[in-house]
C-alpha cells in the first residue's frame, strides 16, 4: 500500500478527522509553510535522531521555527551522543525518504523501537501539521487526535521542555 494511503486508512479506521492540503513537493520547512499559509495549526518539524552506535532512535517534534539544542535533548533523555540519523536508517526504520519525516512514518516501524518526544511549547496548540509520508501534501489534525493515533499504533508520547 502506498505510504500516504496507509496514513489515511489508519486515521479513518480510528475515526480521526483531518484536513489535507495538496501542493508541489516541499523541500524546506519555509517552502512547506508557504503552501499552507493562513490555515490554522502549528507548523511542525520532525527530526529522526539516533545515538552514535545506532542502537536507539528518537523522533523529536517541535515548532518548525525553533532550533533543537542537541546537548539539552541528550541530557533530558539520558543519552550519550545524539545526531541526525542517516537517510539509510530513516528508510530502514520508517520506509521514508529524507525530507518526509513525520509521526506517520511510525506506521512503518515494525520494531516499535523509536521513542517519540514533543516539545512542550507546541502541546498547547490545538492543531498541528505534518507531511503524511509524502512532501506533496500537508495534513492537519488536532493534537489530541495525534496522541490518540500514536497510542493506537503502540507509541507513547513524551513531553520535554526543549
Give average pLDDT by consecutive 10-residue segment, the chain, 162 residues: 89 96 74 70 88 92 90 90 93 90 94 95 92 90 96 96 90
Contact predicate 106/150, CB 8 Å = yes
Q: What is the pLDDT of residue 79?
A: 86
Q: What is the pLDDT of residue 104?
A: 96
Q: What is the pLDDT of residue 44?
A: 86
Q: What is the pLDDT of residue 19?
A: 92
In the block, residue with C-alpha cell 523501537: 113
pTM of the model: 0.90
Burial class of residue 139 in the structure, from the number of CB atoms within 10 Å of its CB (0-12 exposed, 13-18 middle, 19+ buried) = buried
Q: What is the pLDDT of residue 1?
A: 52
Q: Can you say whether residue 33 is alpha, beta or left, with left for phi > 0 and alpha for psi between -120 and 50 degrees?
A: alpha
Q: How far is 89 from 102, CA to CA, in rounded Å?
A: 14
Q: How far is 162 from 150, CA to CA, in rounded Å?
A: 20
Q: What is the pLDDT of residue 28?
A: 67
The domain over range 3-160 is classified in CATH as 3.40.50.970: no
DSSP states of 9-49 as a string?
A: HHHHHTT---EEEE-SPP-SHHHHHHHTTT-SSEEEEEEEE
Amino acid at each position: 500500500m502506498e505510504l500516504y494511503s496507509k496514513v489515511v486508512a489508519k486515521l479513518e479506521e480510528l475515526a480521526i478527522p483531518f484536513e489535507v492540503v495538496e501542493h508541489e513537493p516541499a523541500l524546506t520547512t519555509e517552502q512547506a509553510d508557504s503552501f499552507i499559509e493562513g490555515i490554522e495549526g502549528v507548523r511542525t518539524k520532525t527530526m529522526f535522531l539516533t545515538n552514535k552506535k545506532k542502537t536507539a532512535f528518537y523522533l523529536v517534534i517541535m515548532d518548525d521555527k525553533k532550533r533543537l539544542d542537541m546537548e539539552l535533548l541528550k541530557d533530558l533523555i539520558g543519552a550519550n551522543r545524539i545526531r541526525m540519523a542517516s537517510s539509510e536508517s530513516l528508510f530502514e526504520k520508517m520506509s521514508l525518504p529524507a525530507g518526509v519525516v513525520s509521526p506517520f512514518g511510525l506506521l512503518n516501524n515494525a520494531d516499535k523501537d523509536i521513542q517519540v518526544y514533543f516539545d512542550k511549547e507546541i502541546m498547547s496548540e490545538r492543531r498541528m501539521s505534518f507531511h503524511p509520508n509524502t512532501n506533496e501534501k500537508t495534513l492537519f489534525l488536532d493534537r489530541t487526535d495525534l496522541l490518540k493515533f500514536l497510542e493506537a499504533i503502540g507509541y507513547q508520547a513524551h513531553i520535554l521542555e526543549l
